[in-house]
Structure 1
Amino acid sequence: MQPGREQNDKKPPLPMLALAAIGVVFGDIATSPLYALQQGFDEQGVMPTHDNVLGLLSLCLYALLLVVTGKYVVFVMRADNHGEGGMMALGALARGALRGRGWLTWLIIMLGLLGVALFFGDSVITPAISVLSAVEGLQLAEPGMKPWVLPIAVVIIIGLFMLQKRGSSLLGRLFGPMMALWLLAAAALGAAGIVRNPHVLAAANPAYAVLYMMHNGFRGFESLGAVVLVLTGAEALYADIGHFGTAPIRLAWFSLTLPALLLNYFGQGALLLQQPKASHASFYLLVPHALLYPMIALATCATVIASQAVVSGTFSMVRQGIQLGYLPRARVHHTSREMEGQIYVPAINAMLLVAVLAAVLLFRSSRHLGGAYGIAVSGTMLLTTVLLMVVARCNWRWNWAALIAFSLVFMLIDGAFFAANLLKVVNGGWFPLLIAVGAMLIMTTWRRGHQLMLQRLHSEGERISDLIAHIREAPPMRARGTAVFLTINDEWVPQALLKNLKHNQVLHERNVLLHVDDSGDASRVGEDARSEIHDLGEGFYSVTLRYGFSETMNVAEGLKALDFEPGLDPDLLTYFLGRDEPVASGKQRMSRWRKALFIYMARNAMPAISYYGMSARQLIEIGTKIDL
């Protein structure tokens, strides 16, 4: 049993889990009212006339109901992979459903990776626009504070990333109540606005959305790029089901988050019907002046929490990518003994900090960042729909009529949102796309380079069965003790064993060929399937330890749980590892720049001894150069 699983088996009551989910899951979507609606009425948008306000508000209403509630809460959250959600989990389900289908399987893999890459782009923009939009309230309270908005936002962002190594547990108990307070405050402000102008409730009539699109033509289509901002964070509902389960997330959504969001958006709409010029800051102009500073402070806390959740989600996504073989090994710290999945990845934290600061300093305001935001969100939503169609057909056995109806509705909605956001590319949308392209190149390059290394190792290697047969015919000298050789493929002799035997002309009494299997589609592996051992004869044992993509690997603990030799002390094992160093050759298996990128990543990857939880005091490394 994994450490901490005993605590996880005793779940808190459903209301407590729902409160915790409000803080962790809904931070992004709950802070969207700060900037979403005003983006529809900027200089390039439509005029905030009576019909346009009701029309845009109606679009926001039905986007929340259809996309978040209909697609994610009702359908997507059903597609859990052994209790885990997120783009990696959905991609694994779709890939498993189409396994062995050739190019179709490859296409699904690429779509899943593209969704992950877009998520990385979104994880850079979210902290930047959230913190900036909160701090910008200061210039409304005191116009002289305008020059200080950017420095204050930078300081808050630096502080946010510096605190990451302490983990979410530092503020974890405050996350839920703080976000609940934020949502209640936003709901109260919205309700007060609606009471002053109840005519805004007419936006519940979908005819206003249709008329809005008809009357505004291409400008109306462009403004869909602003409507999608009310949906930012919808992926978190699905990604975090492994932490909370579906019931708490659904309860938190229907009981507080959705009603609060709708009340606030309609309240902002009521304000715009009376004061069209308030469109540049409709959220903060809804706040009474006496409460402006407290609301700015609360908004800042809420956006920090939202950013924290996005950054933590990025760490989890990176770890899944490492364990599925799409990213190089990196140091992962676990920041909580009680809550599974709370991790900190120093290298990713540093890269995210640089990227977020670059976004803040480059765009300098939430209005300008609005042009960069949305394209990654809408792209991820579109890819989620495509992958869900595969799961619905192959896993859930939907008939073609239901599948076509679902596809027509949501492919049309998601496709329209994505197409509208593509128009933002020249106005900032290139920034998250650039990050996504970089992430995609890194993942595909690492995967391809790793495959080439395996091919080279196998072409120059020897099968385990052949080696054992040779040892029977010509037994070498034996040294006392047990040697553990880490191997990628349990059918082939590890290079470290071959080199040791060739140069030292000696074998240990017992030789464990250890294969750590972390490439499966499951998020966790049950204890009954954790390990597998085979006696190969002549003192050789084949041992396989299996881990899911959301588990922490600890080979030393895994070996202690085995009983393959009475009296064997795992603390006295000697680990032999092959330090495979790739070098570029003249053969064009991969372009030169991609070879250089792979070699750089391989040289800077975390050592296997640390990544797999083995003791460095028991390690002997044997180096091998491999031509790519």
Structure 2
Amino acid sequence: MSVDQTAAASTVPPAGLDPETGHHHSDGMLKLAFGAIGIVFGDIGTSPLYAFRETFAGHHKLALDSAHIMGVISLMFWSMMIVVTVKYVIIIMRADNKGEGGSLALLALVSGKTKTRRWSKGIILLGVFATALFYGDSMITPAVSVLSAVEGLAVAAPAFAGLVLPIVIVILIALFWVQKSGTARIGLVFGPIMLVYFSVIAVLGILSIVQTPGVLWALSPHFAVEFFLIDPERAFLALGSVVLAVTGAEALYADMGHFGRKPIGLSWLFFVLPALILNYMGQGALLFRDGQAALVSPFYNLAPESLQLPLVILATMAAVIASQAVISGAFSVTQQAIQLGFIPRLRIEHTSASTEGQIYIPLVNGALMVMVILLVLFFRTSSNLTSAYGIAVTGAMFIDTCLLGVVLFRLWNWPKIAAIPLLAIFFTVDGAYFAANLTKVPAGGWFPLLVGFIIFTFLTTWSKGRQLMIDRMHEAAMPIKVFIGSAASSASRVPGTAVFMTSTADGVPHALLHNLKHNKVLHERVILLTVKIVGQPYWPANDRAVREELGDGFHRLVLRYGFMEDADVPAALRQVHNCGADFKMMDTSFFLSRQTLLASDKPGMMIWREKLFAWMLRNAESAMEFFRLPTNRVVELGSQIEI
């Protein structure tokens, strides 16, 4: 069967979200801002663990002199201002899809406005590739965050340096193991821990700045410009490490649906951004006093020896929280991709009856755990891992800027005199960071690119194959009026209701034809049911069903869901009261058609992609479980299709 895909998520918007506008209410702003600190900023918040160190002690080492130290601090500050503050917080986060953000939500928003344009396919492919890159990022983030945090043991207690890898692997296994039980309770302590973490790194930065106050002048952009003038090659290469300071910026946009634009912006501008800047400046001040700290860990050396071990524990907790946010993000992105037709149905479990977004996807969780552990074992140090880190992030940021261009011109109708200079700045910054990270491909940057291309192939193969399959079925479909006219009077009618699920809202479902051919009966009431996903996160429950009377006991019913909702078909049918008698599950049979794909030389896809699509179709989650159909009321009928 090929039914428009949906995924498991709550059917009501998150708490505090207006179901009509998709925006958060003004009440509880501080509470939401506090919650955002614990969830949204984990990735970018743990960047001080490794970003500054890698800029000076990484693969492209910099001289520990005033020009380079001040230049790097200035680059980090202005990167956070341009990329995070202006691009994401002020501009892109205004491009919400009924309150939801992220590459797929943005893609669903802009694709509706560009479908008549000749370049619309290119825009869709860019959005899909950004999603594919996210999976590479979601594998590297837990590995590099936890590894860089635990490596502090080598600083605080050198005797335990040999235990770093075993401890990291144990932490990662435990982290992925607890996913199946849900993170609602753990989430309650995320906010306080991250609040303490950001406060501590800010205080450590201030204590270092007080000893070397001249570092404050680094906030001037002329130090960044001077860096490029006196050492252009090193400055360009340094961008590959400087960008680590803004990894996680895209999480602000992706998590917007849970907290809202204003709470996230409030947390960033008045708490997280100052804490990060103070810490980076504190690390820079430390390098002025003790350049050797850069070769070990300027982050941990900011603290007195007696406090370094507690700092390791606090940083490890922050790294686990950052990893949790990325893992949850992978579940959420997968859920949206399923709904929008880029990934086959997967088993999705709800881990909380009350907490929005608490879902668990076993296949994604297991694949991430294996890949993260392999990354740790292969690269062994966070310094080696940072070579692989950054290229996926910068690639996704560059694509977001491309999508932003569509938003500015097609959705918001900005005048060219305002949009073009702004986009030129963003493209220049994002392009420079992406180009600098391309130099890291031989040293590890190949990994996220490889993962991205593999997943991109899977996503596009499923989307294209699914469309071809629907087209082939549509070609062979009989007009419903003709079928009713010939079958209704000749076939025997039996009591009860038969629901035939179909991917298109016209023609006769294959399952109905097969049932009539083999069983030679029709039920008294026949429902031709299509589940459709709209390009917005939530669809009003009171406007869920659209019914068409076809005559002779036949009805066509279309159920509409947003791409953040769970398609619970029996629950929706119970709310339909204008389709004859009310639906009773014990009197209703659900007929599904399961297709077997046969690869052929018909134009459409290459043979190897057809075989890949057939394999994905065979391993897709059962439609019965996915649409929550009662197991004892389902009949599956098979058919073969060539694509």
After TM superposition, the structure 1 = structure 2 runs for residues 128-527 of structure 1, keeping only pairs within 5 Å, are 128-280=143-295, 281-471=297-487, 474-518=489-533, 520-527=534-541
The unaligned stretches of length 5 or more in structure 2 are 1-8, 19-24
Question: What's the counterpart of residue 85 of structure 1?
Answer: 101
Give the 3 Å change call, closer, same or farther, for CA 568–57 of structure 1 in structure 2.
Answer: closer
> Counterparts of 1:369 and 1:528 in 2: how far apart (Å)?
50
The answer to whether the 8 A contact 1:61-1:204 is kept is yes
* Structure 1 stretches of at least 4 aligned residues deviating more than 3 Å after TM superposition: 1-12, 586-589
The answer to whether the 8 A contact 1:87-1:112 is kept is yes
Larger displacement relative to structure 2 (276-285 or 567-576): 567-576
> Counterparts of 2:510 and 2:412 in 1: how far apart (Å)?
44
Give the 3 Å change call, closer, same or farther, for CA 394–9 of structure 1 in structure 2.
Answer: closer
Give the 3 Å change call, closer, same or farther, for CA 27–567 of structure 1 in structure 2.
Answer: closer
In the TM superposition, residue 45 of structure 1 has moved relative to its aligned partner by 2.4
The answer to whether the 8 A contact 1:517-1:546 is kept is yes
The answer to whether the 8 A contact 2:600-2:607 is kept is no
Would you say 1:565 and 2:580 are equivalent positions?
yes
Would you say 1:551 and 2:565 are equivalent positions?
yes
> Counterparts of 2:520 and 2:629 in 1: how far apart (Å)?
26
User: What residue identity is the alignment partner of 1:108?
Assistant: I
After TM superposition, the structure 1 = structure 2 runs for residues 17-96 of structure 1, keeping only pairs within 5 Å, are 17-42=32-57, 43-96=59-112
User: What residue identity is the alignment partner of 1:318?
Assistant: T
Question: What's the counterpart of residue 131 of structure 2?
Answer: 116
> Counterparts of 2:364 and 2:357 in 1: how far apart (Å)?
16
In the TM superposition, residue 7 of structure 1 has moved relative to its aligned partner by 5.4
> Counterparts of 1:512 and 1:186 in 2: how far apart (Å)?
61
Question: What's the counterpart of residue 546 of structure 2?
Answer: 532
After TM superposition, the structure 1 = structure 2 runs for residues 99-114 of structure 1, keeping only pairs within 5 Å, are 99-102=115-118, 104-114=119-129
In the TM superposition, residue 459 of structure 1 has moved relative to its aligned partner by 2.4
Give the TM-score normalised by the residue count of structure 1.
0.97
> Counterparts of 1:5 and 1:243 in 2: how far apart (Å)?
9
Give per-residue Cα distances to partners, 1:417-474, cap 9 Å, x unaligned.
00000111001000111110111000011111112211221222212122122235x4
Cα RMSD, aligned residues only: 1.5
SS at match of 1:532: strand
User: What residue identity is the alignment partner of 2:462?
Assistant: W
User: What residue identity is the alignment partner of 1:534?
Assistant: E
In the TM superposition, residue 91 of structure 1 has moved relative to its aligned partner by 1.1
The answer to whether the 8 A contact 1:559-1:570 is kept is no
The answer to whether the 8 A contact 1:4-1:338 is kept is no
The answer to whether the 8 A contact 1:4-1:337 is kept is no
User: What residue identity is the alignment partner of 1:341?
Assistant: G
SS at match of 2:393: helix
Question: What's the counterpart of residue 593 of structure 1?
Answer: 608
Give per-residue Cα distances to partners, 1:244-301, cap 9 Å, x unaligned.
1111111111121011001000000000111112112110111111101110000000
SS at match of 1:372: coil
User: What residue identity is the alignment partner of 1:251?
Assistant: L
The answer to whether the 8 A contact 1:39-1:226 is kept is yes
> Counterparts of 1:453 and 1:588 in 2: how far apart (Å)?
12
Larger displacement relative to structure 2 (174-183 or 207-216): 207-216
The answer to whether the 8 A contact 2:334-2:343 is kept is yes
Q: How many residues align?
A: 625
Give the 3 Å change call, closer, same or farther, for CA 183–457 of structure 1 in structure 2.
Answer: same
The answer to whether the 8 A contact 2:138-2:327 is kept is yes
> Counterparts of 1:247 and 1:459 in 2: how far apart (Å)?
49
The unaligned stretches of length 5 or more in structure 1 are none
State the structure with bigger RCO (CA 8 A, min sep 6), 1 or 2.
Answer: 2
Give the 3 Å change call, closer, same or farther, for CA 208–88 of structure 1 in structure 2.
Answer: same
> Counterparts of 2:227 and 2:586 in 1: how far apart (Å)?
71
Q: Which of 525, 542, 550 in structure 1 is aligned with 2:556?
A: 542
SS at match of 2:503: coil
SS at match of 1:575: strand
In the TM superposition, residue 568 of structure 1 has moved relative to its aligned partner by 4.0
> Counterparts of 1:352 and 1:403 in 2: how far apart (Å)?
39
The answer to whether the 8 A contact 1:4-1:339 is kept is no
SS at match of 1:106: helix
> Counterparts of 1:393 and 1:491 in 2: how far apart (Å)?
36
User: What residue identity is the alignment partner of 1:360?
Assistant: V
In the TM superposition, residue 5 of structure 1 has moved relative to its aligned partner by 5.4
Q: Between the two proteins, what is the percent identity of the paired residues?
A: 45
User: What residue identity is the alignment partner of 2:432?
Assistant: A
In the TM superposition, residue 33 of structure 1 has moved relative to its aligned partner by 0.3
Give the TM-score normalised by the residue count of structure 2.
0.95
Give the 3 Å change call, closer, same or farther, for CA 626–3 of structure 1 in structure 2.
Answer: closer
Give the 3 Å change call, closer, same or farther, for CA 9–278 of structure 1 in structure 2.
Answer: closer
The answer to whether the 8 A contact 2:111-2:120 is kept is yes
In the TM superposition, residue 539 of structure 1 has moved relative to its aligned partner by 0.8
In the TM superposition, residue 132 of structure 1 has moved relative to its aligned partner by 0.3
> Counterparts of 2:641 and 2:11 in 1: how far apart (Å)?
38
> Counterparts of 1:239 and 1:9 in 2: how far apart (Å)?
16
Question: What's the counterpart of residue 605 of structure 1?
Answer: 620
User: What residue identity is the alignment partner of 1:211?
Assistant: E
SS at match of 2:56: coil
